[in-house]
Amino acid sequence: MSVAHFIARRILRSDDKDRTDRLSRPIVGIAVLGVVIGMAVMIVTVGITTGFQREVRTKVTGAGGHLQITSLAQTDPKETPRIAIDQPFYPSLDTVPGVAHIQVYATRPGIIETGEEIEGVVLKGVGKDHDWSFLARHLVAGEVPAIGDTTRPIDLLISNYLGERLRIGVDDTITVYLIKEHDDIRPRKYRVSGLYETGLEQLDHQLVFLDIQHLQRFAQWGLKAELMVYDTVSSEGIGLEALAYGGDRIYSYEWPGTDLHGKGPHWIRAAGDTTITMVLSDADGTIPDTAWVHIKQGEIRADWAWATRDHVTIERGGSGGSHTKYCGGFEVELDDFDDLMAMDDLIYREHLDVGLRSLSVRDRFPEIFAWLELLDTNVIVIIVLMIIVAIINMTSALLIIILERTPMIGVMKSIGATNGVIRRIFLIDAAYILGVGIILGDLLGIGLCLLQQQFDLVRLPIQSYYVDAVPVALDPAPILLLNIGTLVVCVLALVLPSLLVARIAPAKAIKFD
């Protein structure tokens, strides 16, 4: 142990046990209290700000992913153009380090109508791969929709805000108008499976979740091929005609294995059991669809002169339409929000084909993230103010201690102690006092944060703050940095007042008492 450290500890011990009339005792107590309060305020501020930012980020990413992959042709944020689900990155993108999950989605504007009210909404279709964990945590009533369940094909999930505004409850059947174009509005009936509440106005006021198949069929993104079989059989055979739906309406028909061309009608005179297949395409390059007819005939003369439908059995089928092979886009969830910009660049550069783009959550909600970044400025201001208060308190305490120890300083100088050694003595004293204040401030600040975490003592209006209670995040790293930073900055700031030691003359100092 150095001489400076030994003397510094003796000074503190003598202050604790002797000379209770010293002025420095209440001054030091006030300084320690100031450090305690300042340290606690800094820890609580950092904990609340970090917790609040995490909670809001979790909400804005939970309902839409960190990244959205959409078509470059998208001009309306409420309506997604079609994208083929069969992409090189889907579903294998979740094997890329940093990517947690990828899922399909589609959006389209709509209108909810009840007996007395109507409300414009954004319908969001999701598939079987949708991650419901976020919405499941924010369910107010009911349950999430059963995607792909034929026993519950018309499930719909709306927000609690819309439920209260439109007087809609769980299991109610409502009419939703899907809007394709300005003059193409079609009603559909849905059952409300549940109500959710996130606290984010951008979500709760407009977003409605349902099975993506409803939007795929309504938008007619794909082609639907059918074969119409005539009821009568003539001497020319059985009449077939191609029917087409969806796409750009500029159709082409192929009949593989036959010499047939065009829509028809075509007359088939099969010598035995025959399957006729028709492949439907359009000029826009929509994924083709297939329909087929299987003709199983009984005893028919070769000229078909007297044949009727009673002599043949017709089976029809097809692939069911190519609309299920399209979506509006892909949502990508990342492992770490801090990797958002890097992963956005990586996915766009290495995984997306021409015609696709990636849109980060920062781009979708710029006003929310600008507000969250503004909170960081508030934290910096509070930390700076608290450190300044601690420096002022500690400077006052240090000056009082130096003045009270003027005779000791004179004696030490008279026996050869340098100004540097004496300054180190008082700086060590200040560091001890700061250390006590910092430790007590840690206990107070962490204790308050733990109480809030466990019991939600401080509540907030969710409509204004996006959360119903003050969120707190306690991370060891920021607390450790606050401790070290406060100690180092304050001790360095006390170097200047410690220079007062050099101005004390030994002859006068010994007479000072």
Are 39 and 447 within 8 A, CB to CB? no
pLDDT in tens, the chain (513 residues): 577 777 777 776 665 444 444 566 788 888 899 999 999 999 999 999 999 999 999 999 988 999 999 999 998 888 999 999 999 999 999 999 999 999 999 999 999 988 788 899 999 999 999 999 999 999 999 999 999 888 899 999 999 999 999 999 999 999 999 887 666 788 999 999 999 999 888 899 999 999 999 999 998 899 999 999 887 766 677 889 999 999 889 999 999 988 899 998 998 876 678 899 999 999 999 999 999 998 876 655 555 454 555 567 788 899 989 999 999 999 999 999 999 999 999 999 999 998 999 999 999 999 999 989 999 999 999 999 999 999 998 888 888 888 888 888 788 877 878 888 888 888 888 888 899 999 999 999 999 999 999 999 999 888 778 888 999 999 999 999 999 999 999 988 988 888 877 677 776 666 655
In degrees, rounded to 5, the angle at the alpha carbon of residue 157 between the alpha carbons of residues 203 and 150 is 145
Spatial distance between the Cα atoms of 387 and 447, rounded to a whole number of angstroms: 21
User: What pLDDT is stored for residue 176 in this prediction?
Assistant: 94
Tokens 């002169």 locate to 305
User: What pLDDT is stored for residue 427 in this prediction?
Assistant: 86
Other beta carbons within 10 angstroms of residue 504's beta carbon come to 19
Tokens 């204790």 locate to 447
Are 212 and 327 within 8 A, CB to CB? yes
In degrees, rounded to 5, the angle at the alpha carbon of residue 255 between the alpha carbons of residues 250 and 256 is 130
Other beta carbons within 10 angstroms of residue 63's beta carbon come to 21
* Residue 107 main-chain phi, psi, to 5 deg: -130, 150
Are 210 and 123 within 8 A, CB to CB? yes
User: What pLDDT is stored for residue 306 in this prediction?
Assistant: 46
Are 482 and 46 within 8 A, CB to CB? yes
Beta strands in 350-445 (DSSP E): 356-360
User: What pLDDT is stored for residue 10 in this prediction?
Assistant: 72
Spatial distance between the Cα atoms of 93 and 225, rounded to a whole number of angstroms: 32
Spatial distance between the Cα atoms of 22 and 18, rounded to a whole number of angstroms: 9
Spatial distance between the Cα atoms of 285 and 326, rounded to a whole number of angstroms: 13
Other beta carbons within 10 angstroms of residue 507's beta carbon come to 9
Burial of 255 (0-12, 13-18, 19+ CB in 10 A): middle
User: What pLDDT is stored for residue 430 in this prediction?
Assistant: 86
In sequence order, the 6+-apart residues with CB closer than 8 A to the CB of 9 are: 428, 432
User: What pLDDT is stored for residue 109 in this prediction?
Assistant: 92
Query: Quick one: which of 350, 371, 347 has its CA closest to 358?
Result: 347
Residue 164's SS3 state is helix
Query: Quick one: which of 153, 166, 180, 157 has its CA closest to 112?
Result: 166
Handedness of CA 5, 9, 15, 19 (dihedral sign): negative
In sequence order, the 6+-apart residues with CB closer than 8 A to the CB of 95 are: none
* Residue 177 main-chain phi, psi, to 5 deg: -95, 120
Whether the bond between 265 and the residue before it is cis, its omega within 30 degrees of 0, is: yes
208, β-bridge pairs? 123
User: What pLDDT is stored for residue 308 in this prediction?
Assistant: 52
User: What pLDDT is stored for residue 417 in this prediction?
Assistant: 81
Tokens 């028909």 locate to 253
